[in-house]
Structure 1
Amino acid sequence: MANPIINVENLAASYRKNTVLHDVDFKVNAGSLTAIVGPNGAGKSTLIKTMLDLHPALAGSVKFFGLPFTKAKKRIGYVPQRGSVDWEFPTDALDVVTMGLYGQIGWLKRPSAIHKKKAYEALEKMGMEEYASRQISQLSGGQQQRVFLARALVQNADLYFMDEPLAGVDAATERAIMTILQELKSIGKTVMVVHHDLQTVTDYFDHVLFLNRTIVEHGETGEIFTNKNIARTYGGSIRQMGDEHRHVVHTFE
């Protein structure tokens, strides 16, 4: 793989002395849209957090664009799980999106009219402009997720990590989010998404990373999204649905 923009080698991490990730190795090229899939407890969220220095690594190295995270972070956007955010914090949707520009503005400076305009345009892209002055606690789960995606978009990053952005959202929000992610890919951005619905992997993603504490398989969806690799990852029985690309896992870990 020539000039990967993500290069992870021998990464390991733990929680409370229990190893969650071990011997994680993979590389990602620019312009790809990758689903990270695996059973509950497989370390999917931990993988992203460890890569982004939000959780300590036990071993290994992570490079973005050939650089450590601290030197590449301005080129990286991150959307955490919605459940990990304090939605009672007293701020409105426009201010939340504007926070995505603080790397450009500086934390001690006030955003300019131009910054506010960029934030509003990101809300427009997510169909949330009419909620710009709405307190985030008053938004539905799907609306909150759109706001957080807008905050990531306004950064104009080269690489995005998203932790279950489709979890608990309605069909319209799911379509809106995936349309944006496909557009990002089409202009050369790279996106990695923790994803829980195996039935939509082939529809939404061109690459898939199977994870269960270590990498089970990683590559192009059309080549590696198979019953065999799903069974290896989930350790469950598989029933095929409709055609060879749609699957349901009946039993998990």
Structure 2
Amino acid sequence: MAEAVLQVENLSASYRKNTVLFDVNFVVQAGSLVGIVGPNGAGKSTLLKTILNLHPSLTGSVKFFGLPFNKVQKRIGYVPQRGSVDWDFPTNALDVVTMGLYGQIGWLKRPSRLHKQKAFEALEKLGMADYADRQISQLSGGQQQRVFLARALVQNADLYFMDEPLAGVDAATERAIMTLLKELKALGKTVMVVHHDLQTVEDYFDHVLLLNRTVIQYGKTKQIFTRENISRTYGGDLRWLREESLHVHNPIK
């Protein structure tokens, strides 16, 4: 059986006294590509932030590779929502990616030629080598997202968390990102992705976590991603989704 890379038990969190997550429990095995799916306000982004100690928890525990976060932080990569980043900060694409190596370089040391080369190769992998010297404010949304993915890639983490990396990007960028994520999975990496497009879940993810403040279901996509479970997650039937565009099992009759 694959190693448990993430174990979440009885996790709860709130914003301004409003409970956003309650009694969240799941275990993720190594080499999984997991889609986190649920309606707006379901706590998807908060789940990632709470797991990563970026937001306080009320109850519960989180273990990574059987250890607390501060013991394995260098093995974990995080890509926040693009909208949460100050893209007007005066720096170029190569420097942004190089920042992903500061855990190896040290914050007060200058990156070496080898570090810069690693960063450039990560940009190259995402089709952004020609934009290495471009100011990030001059990049399109899809290009900015590729740079952010390159920064995570250069960390060479074992477990990645990505908050809506496909939101608002063009079709070519979406394909490039999904190709990268599937390559990471093939290398034995584990990737958890907040995702909003139900129509692509089955094509993109081998596991799915259906979330609406708590875990509705979690498991292999082929077994869990049913019309009944989606309806439970979103709080009603999904007549607004055409049957032919949502290829899920056990459709509601």
Normalization by structure 2: what TM-score?
0.95
Deviations 1:177-221 (A, max 9, x none): 000000000110000000000000000000000000000000000
Alpha-carbon distance in structure 2 between the residues aligned to 1:21 and 1:50: 9
Give structure 1 stretches of 5+ with no counterpart.
248-253
Residues 1-253 of structure 1 mapped to structure 2, 5 A cutoff: 3-239=3-239, 240-242=242-244, 245-246=247-248
Alpha-carbon distance in structure 2 between the residues aligned to 1:115 and 1:160: 21
Q: CA RMSD in A?
A: 1.3
Deviations 1:4-35 (A, max 9, x none): 11000000000001000000000000000000
Alpha-carbon distance in structure 2 between the residues aligned to 1:56 and 1:237: 34
One-letter code of the match for 1:117?
Q
1:250 is matched with none
User: Alignment length, in residue pairs?
Assistant: 247
Q: Which ranges of 4 or more aligned residues in structure 1 deviate by more than 4 Å?
A: none
Is contact 2:199–2:246 with CA below 8 Å preserved after alignment? no
Alpha-carbon distance in structure 1 between the residues aligned to 2:2 and 2:166: 31
Give the CA deviation at 1:244. Answer: 6.7
Is contact 1:79–1:165 with CA below 8 Å preserved after alignment? yes
SS in 2 for 1:36: strand
Alpha-carbon distance in structure 2 between the residues aligned to 1:154 and 1:54: 22
Is contact 1:9–1:25 with CA below 8 Å preserved after alignment? yes
Alpha-carbon distance in structure 1 between the residues aligned to 2:183 and 2:3: 23
One-letter code of the match for 1:39?
P
One-letter code of the match for 1:177?
I
Alpha-carbon distance in structure 1 between the residues aligned to 2:172 and 2:108: 37
Is contact 2:206–2:220 with CA below 8 Å preserved after alignment? yes
Q: From the superposition, tell whether residues 111 and 244 of structure 1 become closer, same or farther in structure 2 (CA, over 3 Å).
A: closer
Is contact 1:36–1:209 with CA below 8 Å preserved after alignment? yes
Alpha-carbon distance in structure 1 between the residues aligned to 2:155 and 2:2: 26
Give the CA deviation at 1:246. Answer: 4.8
1:251 is matched with none
Is contact 1:198–1:246 with CA below 8 Å preserved after alignment? no
Alpha-carbon distance in structure 2 between the residues aligned to 1:60 and 1:2: 24
Is contact 1:35–1:209 with CA below 8 Å preserved after alignment? yes
Give structure 2 stretches of 5+ with no counterpart.
none
Is contact 2:2–2:30 with CA below 8 Å preserved after alignment? no
Alpha-carbon distance in structure 1 between the residues aligned to 2:129 and 2:34: 29
